[in-house]
Structure 1
Amino acid sequence: MATLPPSPFDRDRRNRRTLVTMALVGLAMLGLGFASVPLYRIFCEQTGFGGTTRRAEASTSVKVATGHTLSIRFDSNVQPGMPWQFYPEHPTDTVTVGAKDMAIFVAKNMSDKPVTGTASFNVTPTQAGAYFTKIQCFCFTQQTLQPGEEVRMPVLYYVDPKILDDPDNRDTQEITLSYTFYPVEQGKKAS
């Protein structure tokens, strides 16, 4: 028995099915593209990837690892063209692992107009980011300084005692918390 060649009707139906499938794949890729930034941010916050710190509530209780201390170094920068002075009150601190501590950063608007800024941050060594936990930070929200205004901005944090059990952090003696302030254009939200 001979097989009949596919009819033009069957070919059209397959072409339409292929077109619909490709359109759905394209829409899925577009959606994934838009979702990639927030998904990456969530991934970094949960894993500490790339020196991203974790967040905790003030009510979080942590067991203090008495006798285990780390040096915390604070670094501050402003994007070129940002008219602020920005620096830590104390460039280093020695903390007990697991104990809550506070650092103060000072920012001053050196311009003659209000300036809104937002801070990005990271921790080095990057593998320590998963254990550096912030409770309160000026970096969680935008900051607006009036002309000549100077403010003291606290960062409440602790280093999770689990860092002591991590072989990648066995030799970590110092953690650097670094901030960079960027101007936020009026009418735009920071991402």
Structure 2
Amino acid sequence: MSPLRRTQATLAGLVVIIAAMVGLVIGSVPLYKAFCQATGIGGPPRQVAAESSAATGKMVTIRFDASVAKGLQWRFAPQSREMKVRLGEDNLAIFTATNLSDRPITGNAVFNATPDKIGKYVAKIQCFCFTEQTLLPGQTVDMAVSFVIDPAMAADPLSNEVGTITLSYTFFNANPADERGRS
């Protein structure tokens, strides 16, 4: 094989690899969501418009975890670190976020529930994590999440022993290019 043909073959191989990597990056979020919806394992809890399940006598402890991604100049924390809830009852948790910078920043939050097997039983009715949040310089806001723990969890032999659920929220900069332009 001539040096030109080898170079062309190598270049073609690199183009295929780069195209595959770009495809994986573009498809990773939809594939992850589809996997979580299909299996109910891990991933984000489900979002619902309203919950009509009847409450049960079983109680669980909900712990709240809040963090911000590296480079996001916000302080973000739950007002209460944990609460006891009854399965099937509507619950409300409040988080506080403060923009520590001298410019407006828009963030978006991702959420998850652990243990992983419990995610399918956490129903978010309303959450700050459904939309982007813009905070002005120095602004502090309270943000709510309304949720229900599905009473079906008590009947699931794989999940009914769970007594503590952790709901985690991490804020990311919705416009990371803004951070690169400032140094």
Q: Is 1:40 aligned to residue 57 of structure 2?
A: no
Q: Is 1:177 aligned to residue 167 of structure 2?
A: yes
> Structure 1: which 5+ residue stretches go unaligned?
1-25
**How does the TM-score come out when normalised to structure 1?**
0.76
Number of equivalences? 159
CA RMSD of aligned residues (A): 2.3
Q: 1:46: Cα distance to partner?
A: 5.1
Read off the aligned partner of 1:179 and give its amino acid letter.
Answer: Y
Q: Is 1:57 aligned to residue 49 of structure 2?
A: yes
SS at structure 1 position matched to 2:42: helix
Inter-CA distance 145–36: structure 2 relative to 1 (3 Å threshold): closer
SS at structure 2 position matched to 1:147: coil
Inter-CA distance 155–47: structure 2 relative to 1 (3 Å threshold): farther
Inter-CA distance 112–57: structure 2 relative to 1 (3 Å threshold): same
Residue 22 (structure 1) aligns with: none
Q: 1:35: Cα distance to partner?
A: 5.0
Read off the aligned partner of 1:85 and give its amino acid letter.
Answer: R
Q: 1:45: Cα distance to partner?
A: 3.6
Identical columns (%): 45
SS at structure 1 position matched to 2:34: helix
> Structure 2: which 5+ residue stretches go unaligned?
1-15, 179-183
Query: Where do 1:1-191 residues align within 5 Å?
Result: 37-45=29-37, 47-58=39-50, 60-65=51-56, 67-185=57-175
**How does the TM-score come out when normalised to structure 2?**
0.79
What is the alpha-carbon distance in structure 2 between the residues aligned to residue 135 and residue 45 of structure 1?
A: 17
Read off the aligned partner of 1:131 and give its amino acid letter.
Answer: Y
Larger Rg belongs to: 1
What is the alpha-carbon distance in structure 1 between the residues aligned to residue 113 and residue 158 of structure 2?
A: 15
8 A Cα contact 2:33 2:43, kept in partner: no
